[in-house]
Amino acid sequence: MTTGSVDVRDETVEVWDSRLRLHVKIAGDGPPLLYFHPLMGLSWSPWLDQLAVRYTVYAPEHPGTSPGDPQAIREVQTFWELLLVYEEAIRKLGLGPDRPAAIGQSFGGMVAADLAASFPQVFSRLVLLSPAGLWRDDAPIPLMEMVAGPPEELPKYVFAHPESEAARAALALPEDPEQIPKAIAQSIWNTGCTTKFAWPIADHGLDRRLHRIQVPTLIVWGREDALVPVAYAKEFGSRIAGSQVEVLDDCGHAVQVDQPARSWTAISRFLGA
């Protein structure tokens, strides 16, 4: 497992009739791979460094979540517009002909899955890490409880072991106390920008489009996921023809944090195959 840090550069793509400058973090070398981040925004983790060893990782920042450009979210009114923004950005990044692989996590999983269903030619392979996007009344997703609840309860929704060093590191605040309010404000704003398309129920009819996904798909889930219950693994799996479902034991919503080695093995084996 390589976790050497790589150079991450920031590129902006002008899209949406020039109304939006989408920020994309890019790192690494090799064939292109898109990463769609979860609810609270993109944080460049060691896990993405690992991917960057074999791939050129393109990680777009959801509109409004890029520091210094909060109002960008105003330009995107519906989830369908968000999908169109990303489809255009992928073309403008010059990735169209290469058909990049895509990994989508949680909220980003909903984005990646719907892109793959709406535009079947855009990706070559798809990895969904505990994606949102479906709803079952008997398996509610406590999004509202997590987002509007006390911040000290957030980790229990995201990690199987909230007290672990890895979980603490994943939610670590800046060391400089002066920077802490800015960092918290950014993550609250980011959550507002993403929940704009996920509140209170992240269901835009994806269940009726998933059958359109034509590419090899891997679905990874933590058995102890306290945010998007593992029951949804089978919902995604049964709707995407030929997909593989990998359920990890002793694992919560953030699969790479709770089970770094086993999730990495599953993902890298699938992408390399």
Partner 1 sequence: MGRDRNPYRLGFVQVVAVSETDERAEKEFAKHLQAHYRSGPGAIPLTAMAVPGYAEPAAIEGMLRSAGHGGMLARLRTATYKELVDSQVAIVGSPATVADQIEAFVREFRIGNLMVMLQNGSMPRDLTEKSISLFAGEVLPRQWWPRAHGTAGAVTGAAAGRQA
* Residue 11 near residue 32, CB atoms below 8 Å: no
CB of 70 to partner 1, least distance (A): 5
Cβ proximity to partner 1: between 81 and 87 the closer is: 81
> CB of 79: closest distance to partner 1 in angstroms?
15
| CB 36, CB 109: distance < 8 Å | yes
Q: Which is nearer to partner 1, 50 or 191 (CB)?
A: 191
CB of 176 to partner 1, least distance (A): 14
**How far, in Å, CA of 183 to CA of 129, rounded?**
25
Cα 117 from chain centre: 16
Which CB sits closer to partner 1, 67 or 205?
67
Where are the alpha helices (H) located in the chain, listed in sequence order?
Answer: 46-54, 79-92, 107-118, 143-148, 154-158, 165-170, 180-195, 231-239, 255-258, 260-272
CA angle 224, 111, 234 (to 5 degrees): 40
Task: Give contact residues for partner 1 (rule: CB under 8 A).
Answer: 70, 147-151, 180-182, 184-186, 188-189, 191-193, 195-196, 199
Q: Which is nearer to partner 1, 138 or 152 (CB)?
A: 152
Distance CA(135)–CA(150), nearest Å, equals: 24
Q: Which CB, 50 or 66, lies closer to partner 1?
A: 66
As a whole number of angstroms, the distance between CA 106 and CA 74 comes to 22
Report in angstroms how near the CB of residue 117 gets to partner 1 at its nearest. 26
CB contact set of 152 (below 8 Å; sequence gap of 6+): none
Which residue's CB is nearer to partner 1, number 17 or number 176? 176
Token pair recorded at residue 98: 């290469």
Sign of CA dihedral 119, 140, 138, 263: positive
Least distance in Å: CB of 106 to partner 1? 15
- Please, what is the minimum distance in Å from the beta carbon of residue 158 to partner 1? 15
Smallest separation (angstroms) from partner 1 to the CB of 188: 5
Task: Give Dmax over CA atoms of the chain in angstroms.
Answer: 51
CB of 74 to partner 1, least distance (A): 11
Helix (H, G, I), strand (E, B) or coil at 202: coil
Nearest CB to partner 1, comparing residues 46 and 70: 70
Report the candidate in 194, 198, 204, 186 with the shortest Cα–Cα distance to residue 63: 194
Q: Which residues contact 175 (CB under 8 A, 6 or more apart)?
A: none
